Amino acid sequence: MRKFISVMLVAAMAVTALTGCGSNSSSSSKKDADKYYIGGIGPTTGATAIYGTAVKNGAQIAVDEINAAGGINGKQIEYRFEDDQNDAEKAVNAYNTLKDWGMQMLVGTTTTAPCIAVAGKTASDNVFQITPSASSPDVLSSGNGNVFQVCFTDPNQGVASAQYIAENKLPTKIGIIYDSSDVYSSGIEEKFEAEAKTQGLNIVSKAAFTADSKTDFGTQLQKAKDAGADLLFLPIYYQEASIILKQADTMGYKPKFFGVDGMDGILTVENFDTKLAEDVMLLTPFAADAKNKSVQNFVKTYKEKYKDTPNQFAADSYDAVYALKAAIEESKATTDMSASDMCDALKGAMTKIKMQGLTGGEDGLTWNESGEVTKSPKAVIIKNGAYKAM
């Protein structure tokens, strides 16, 4: 009997293994040499799905636009996006799937920890990677020069937040609530605290939560309230932030709230009363209501196609695809290059290009050799359920 089961299972295994190989051979034979193959990775399922979906859609719009306008150097782009569930191991699997598909450049990954793992792989395979939103400096160091970022790094966000609060004379008695089990959140918190000291801001309370206990923030809020914090700095993702806003409201605690780019998306949380987010400030390089013409076009297309207002992640990935286009044009990389040759060509070109993009602000986007982007952070405030530039 047991033998029978094992025979069955071995058969099942063999079948799955064969399908794995089968799809590989068919995809490589399908490959059209006259196209640029761009892959994308991000979570489209799970708790952080909103970011992956935004990155996927943002890049799709850019690809469609470029293809409609005649492609890059007259060549069309093929684009494919894979899910990683915000898990490092799954991200590497997604990366390998894309490699089988014939990917030459990677737009991704969306979140930080998976990105570090994938950067390790792109470094050893020599594949060019541009991440729209993985913001830790570790991404760059483990990518060994192959990885470029479109978003600010975490230290920059922490420092910029502290400077912004100090310069704009916001309340200086500050409470912090952050996710100590999250790379992104604790990275920003650390730098914010260091910079706050030099800016003369007074951090009166600091409370952490972890990924296991992110449904109730009563204790953390009470701590901030008891310490008399007038401004609550929330370097966290939007789901938790929405709960915090709700609970603070029920407690009758009304400080000012200040978030970073992870807060972007708070207005789209289901069953969340957007009135609670009134006057929340956040630091994001992209505001959907900007007067800029390219931004307005992007927002219009996005709304038509996906029935949703694009957030900063969508804008970053849109810019990432255009940065790739600029770099390909600069380096004259051709479609028949291998991923490795393409990487060497693009790496050199990235530091030479300068583009406006959606998130570039007044000075545009430029990159240095380590892969870090230079752009100026913008603070927005939520008024009547929409972002307003400050």
Partner 1 sequence: MKKSNMKSINKQTKSMLITYAMVIAVFIIVEIMISTGMMSSLMQGLLVPLCIYSIVAIGLNLCVGYLGELSLGHAGFMCVGAFSSAVFSKCMMTSGMNETLRFILALLIGTVVAAVFGWLIGIPVLRLRGDYLAIVTLAFGEIIKNVINVMYLGRDSKGFHFSIKDSASLNMQADGKMIIDGAKGIVGTPNQSTFVVGIIIILISLFVSFNLVNSRTGRAIMAIRDNRIAAESVGINITKYKLMAFTISAAIAGAGGVLYAHNLSTLTALPANFGYNMSIMILVFVVLGGMGSFRGSIIAAVVLTMLPEVLRGLADYRMLIYAIVLIIMMLFNWAPKAIEWREKHSLKRMFGKKEKAEEVQ
User: Which stretches of the chain bind partner 1, using CB under 8 A?
Assistant: 1-7, 9-10, 12-13, 16-17, 19-21, 23-24, 44-45, 82-83, 85-89, 92-97, 99-100, 113, 116-117, 119-121, 124, 136, 138, 141-142, 179-183, 185-187, 190, 193-194, 210-212
Whole-angstrom distance, CA of residue 147 vs CA of residue 55? 17
Residue count of the chain, please give it: 390
Q: How many Cβ atoms sit within 10 Å of the Cβ of residue 254? A: 11
Whole-angstrom distance, CA of residue 260 vs CA of residue 243? 16
Please identify which residue in the block is written with the tokens 């099942």.
Answer: 12
CA neighbor of 323 nearest in space, from 359, 370, 295, 286 = 359
The residue type of 189 is: E
Whole-angstrom distance, CA of residue 181 vs CA of residue 103? 33
Which ranges of the chain would DSSP assign to H, the alpha helix?
Answer: 2-30, 49-68, 88-101, 112-125, 137-143, 154-167, 183-198, 218-227, 238-251, 293-306, 312-331, 339-350
Number of H helices, E strands in the chain: 12, 15
| Burial class for 333, CB neighbours closer than 10 Å (0-12, 13-18, 19+) | buried
Whole-angstrom distance, CA of residue 159 vs CA of residue 189? 9
Which residues are registered as beta bridge partners of 76? 35
Q: Minimum CB separation from partner 1 for residue 280, in Å?
A: 25
The residue type of 312 is: Q
Return the exposure string of 93-122: e unless at least 16 CB atoms fall within 10 Å of the residue's CB, then b.
Answer: ebbebbbebbbbbbbbbbbbbbbbbbbebb
Whole-angstrom distance, CA of residue 256 vs CA of residue 281? 8
Are the beta carbons of 209 and 180 closer than 8 angstroms? Answer: yes
Q: How many Cβ atoms sit within 10 Å of the Cβ of residue 69? A: 8
Could you write out the DSSP letters of every residue in 272-329? --GGGGTT-EEE-S--TT-S-HHHHHHHHHHHHHHSS---HHHHHHHHHHHHHHHHHH
Whole-angstrom distance, CA of residue 271 vs CA of residue 268? 9
Q: Minimum CB separation from partner 1 for residue 181, in Å?
A: 5
